[in-house]
Structure 1
Amino acid sequence: MPPSRRLIVSSLLAGLAAPGAQAGTGAGAADVVETAWSLGGLEGTLLTPRAARRALGVLMIAGSGPTDRDGNGPGLATDLYRRIAEGLAAAGHAVLRYDKRGVGGSRAAARREEDLSFPVMEADARLVLRSLAARAEVRGVVPLGHSEGAMIATRLACSEAVAGLVLMAAPGRPLGVVLMEQLAAAGLPPELMAQSERILAALARGEAAADVPPALASLFRPSVQPYLASVIGVDPARDLAAVGVPTLILAGGRDLQTGESDIAALEAARPDARVVRLAAANHVLKPAPADRAGNIAVYADRAAPLDPGVMPALEGFLATLS
């Protein structure tokens, strides 16, 4: 299955708790200080402006699967999160990114795949957000989520005191809808599509799915079913409608995972949100050819630049919260 469809399919094939690359090499900017961060078994990296002043805090929440704090993992080498964090820190913000439970430096926090669930991931993000908000040099916090991380960021913005919300390449519809679309686009035969629908319906009812066909065993293996059951009822647009803070939505025009239907659902939920469409960007917000093969190549190229519209959109939005 192409890496460009990582939102659910390849992430689950790789394993929720598969090891990711260890986080980064430092900001490399004279005006930024890098500090190791840890709490409750989670490990991360905090970048702060060297100048002594209170800064807006940004919490970066990674996308699905074994994606680490830098935006890398098996078959994925983007440095997306590291680059954004360094850019925002250089612009004067305090940026915290962390390895999810079971990934990279936080691997020991989850030894078994079946122990991971969407509520667990959400609770971890809440813990990290509150840790960032409590720092003396931070005057307000903004959750910034990518892909599945955008769903978690939205949940935090519904219940925590935040200054704003940033969603990057965010799904706008429930997992079951998106997953069935992705399986169809991947060319799954009709009989396996029907079996997938049956399994998803069982998980939505809170039931374990038995008699999983061998061809679907990697996707619906017993150890991943608790996670799927926990996230399948999440409706990102419904959650976003309950958010009352300024919101930025960044969407790639060549994103093969989330598309115009997702953006439309989010826009309908929050008509006042600032939406920035990056026409040439893919799911990891880098310029990519329109064809699938070109997207895949970018996913494995750390040197590929961010879309030129990413940092101006982020910095411009955060400036309005100052």
Structure 2
Amino acid sequence: MKKLGITFCLMTSILLVIAGCSKKKESEPETNLKGMSSLESIEGLWEGSIIIPNQPLSIILTFEKNNGAISIPAQGLSDYPLTSVIINESDVFFDMAIQGQPITFDGKVEQEKITGTFTQQGQSFPFELTKGNKEQLAEKGDVVEVKLKDGTMSGQLEMPQGEGPFPLMVIIAGSGPTDRDGNSAALPGKNNSLKMLAENLATEGVASIRYDKRGVGSNASLAGKEEDMRFEHYIDDAAAWVQFAKTDERFSKVGIIGHSEGSLIGMVAAEKTDADAFISIAGAGRPIDQILLEQLKEQLPANLLEESKTILDKLKQGEQVKTVSPELQSIFRPSVQPYMISWLHYDPVAQLQKLQSPVFIMNGNRDIQVSIQDAERLHDATNDSRLLIVKNMNHILKEAPDDRAGNIATYSNPELPLAKGLMDGITVFLKDELLREK
């Protein structure tokens, strides 16, 4: 991998641009909004990002008549109050303070956009917001909710037309700040791959539930502190959706589709819930430490690569590493190490071998993040799984050219359809395993 922005999509690393955002709001400032008479002009919900090179940070601003708040899903910050909002004709300024640190946004309002400069601790980056509304977050389909130990998680249900009951697939997104539609806040633009997958399933008579992971989008409030996060949280969330669907009379059988990191999460959840079928799309066939080291070999000098190996060895033994070089903080900072320790407990091959349900392994031959060798390794680990390598398909399920730049360009193009052969393969498998009377 040549670009860190693509490499770290495999990680759940959270940007630390705004220090302390995931901490408890022990000393929230009192909101003191200025320019009240003009605030109505921007009232509502605005979505966008702070445009940090290679790692855009998704933000959501909500302005109401008497207050304003910011959410940063990737950092677990939800509805944090703004200190002030000042509007002067087309100029808008708003700020916040976290642990005594002033953070400012200085911009202009032009029709349905706010653009400007974000500043913290002397560092400045552009930001851009687009006007939206809370109803748009749900988009098409029914919003469903499931109760968890630490709160309520929302998801989006896509139902086929006609009389049920229908088989249902729980769709699990990949790593990092990737939402239920397959779009990542760490990458510019949208691809809508998982949204398209759900909609195509519905046309084939298969319902689906897809959901923002905890800390992302509509489920940002479930993030908690980064140091408290564990891989098992994602597994338990996926299992909760399967159990939810199994108790709903609208659904006949319930399976799981896991994409990228969601593949490993899905394997464990499928075994835990005795799911009726499991589909892995672009899922790794090796433990994450092996994949990460393979990627880092192409990016790090020898001394940092050796340090990475040492850190991973310690983490695999369940030991945290207190001292990490500044260059490696984005991957191995102490607050993310407990999560990595929990992740390293899981070997995809060993997990897949525990499944009793039908298994379908899929990958694209132009996936620059997960190789077809990983898919073959998973397939070889089981006696009766199916394997399909989709011609010209890349990691986000779209057809891509052979060159790397052209491949990456598809990550930001929602107009591209799903790769040919993907839905055909899934449909045949599901008709054999879930739709056919046995």
Normalising by structure 1, report the TM-score. 0.92
2:294 and 2:398 map into 1 onto residues whose CA distance is: 23
8 Å CA contact 2:239–2:270 kept in 1: the answer is no
3-state SS in 2 of match to 1:121: helix
Q: Does 1:261 align with 2:317?
A: no
| Cα shift at 1:157 | 2.2
Of the candidates 150, 162, 171, which is equivalent to residue 51 of structure 1? 162
Q: Deviations over 1:82-138 (max 9, x none)?
A: 000011012111110011111100001123222221111101111111101111111
- Asked if 1:35 corresponds to 2:142, the answer is yes
Higher relative contact order (CA 8 A, sep 6+): 1
Please give the per-residue CA displacement for 1:283-307, whole angstroms capped at 9, x wherever unaligned: 1111112222122111111112210
- Distance in 1 separating the partners of 2:240 and 2:368: 32
> What is the CA-CA distance between 1:50 and the residue it aligns to?
3.0
- Return 109-118 or 192-201, whichever deviates more: 109-118
Q: Distance in 1 between matches of 2:381 and 2:5?
A: 29
Shift of 1:13: 5.4
Q: Specify which of 64, 68, 74 is matched with residue 18 of structure 1.
A: 74
More helix by share: 1
Q: Give how far 1:19 is off.
A: 6.7
In 1, Cα distance between equivalents of 2:250 and 2:235: 25
Q: Which amino acid aligns with 1:46?
A: L
Partner residue of 2:259?
146
Comparing both structures, which one devotes a greater share of its residues to strand?
A: 2
Aligned to 1:224, the other structure's residue is in SS state: helix
Q: Alignment partner for residue 212 of structure 1, among 305, 312, 324?
A: 324
Residue 30 of structure 1 corresponds to none
In structure 1, what is the Cα distance between the partners aligned to 2:321 and 2:169?
A: 39
CA displacement, residues 237-295 of structure 1 (integer Å, 9 cap, x when unaligned): 11111112211111010111111331232022114211110121111111112222122
Residues 176-191 of structure 1 mapped to structure 2, 5 A cutoff: 176-185=289-298, 187-191=299-303
Task: Tell me how far apart the structure 2 counterparts of residues 4 and 292 of structure 1 sit (CA, whole Å).
Answer: 11
Report the AA paired with residue 138 of structure 1. F
1:123 counterpart letter in structure 2 = D
> Is 1:241 aligned with 2:353?
yes
Matches within 5 A, 1:65-214: 65-74=176-185, 75=187, 77-185=190-298, 187-214=299-326
Q: String of CA shifts for 1:139-188, please: whole Å, max 9, x gaps.
A: 11011000110001111222322221100001000011011011113x21
Which runs of 5 or more residues in structure 1 are unaligned? 27-33
Question: Whole-Å Cα distance in 2 between the matches of residues 298 and 24 of structure 1?
Answer: 24
Task: Decide whether the 8 Å contact of 1:182 with 1:257 is kept in 2.
Answer: no
Supply the AA of the counterpart residue of 1:225. Q
The residue type paired with residue 199 of structure 2 is E
Which residue identity lines up with residue 401 of structure 2 in the other structure? Answer: P
The CA deviation at 1:44 is 0.9
**Shift of residue 23 of structure 1?**
4.8
Larger displacement relative to structure 2 (13-22 or 303-312): 13-22
**Which range moved further: 264-273 or 166-175?**
264-273
Q: 2: CA distance between counterparts of 1:274 and 1:290?
A: 26
Identity %: 35
Q: 2:161·2:202 contact (CA, 8 Å) conserved in 1?
A: no
- Could you say what secondary structure the match of 1:51 adopts? coil
Counterpart of 1:159, as a letter, is K
Aligned partners of 2:392 and 2:400 also within 8 Å:
yes
> Which residue matches 2:10?
8
Q: Which amino acid aligns with 1:12?
A: S
The structure with the largest alpha-carbon Rg is 2
Aligned partners of 2:158, 2:343: CA distance in 1, in Å? Answer: 31
Other structure's SS at 1:12 match: coil
Structure 2 unmatched ranges of 5 or more: 17-21, 23-72, 77-131
Would the alpha carbon gap of residues 262 and 140 (structure 1) be closer, same or farther in structure 2, given more than 3 Å must change? Answer: same
Q: Structure 2: how far apart are the matches of 1:252 and 1:46?
A: 27
Q: Does structure 1 retain, via aligned residues, the 8 Å contact 2:7–2:369?
A: yes
CA distance in 2, matches of 1:307, 1:271: 27
**SS across alignment from 2:143:** strand
Task: State the distance in 2 between where 1:48 and 1:173 align.
Answer: 34
**Does residue 301 of the first structure (1) align with residue 419 of the second (2)?**
no
> How far apart, in 1, do the equivalents of 2:285 and 2:376 lie?
8
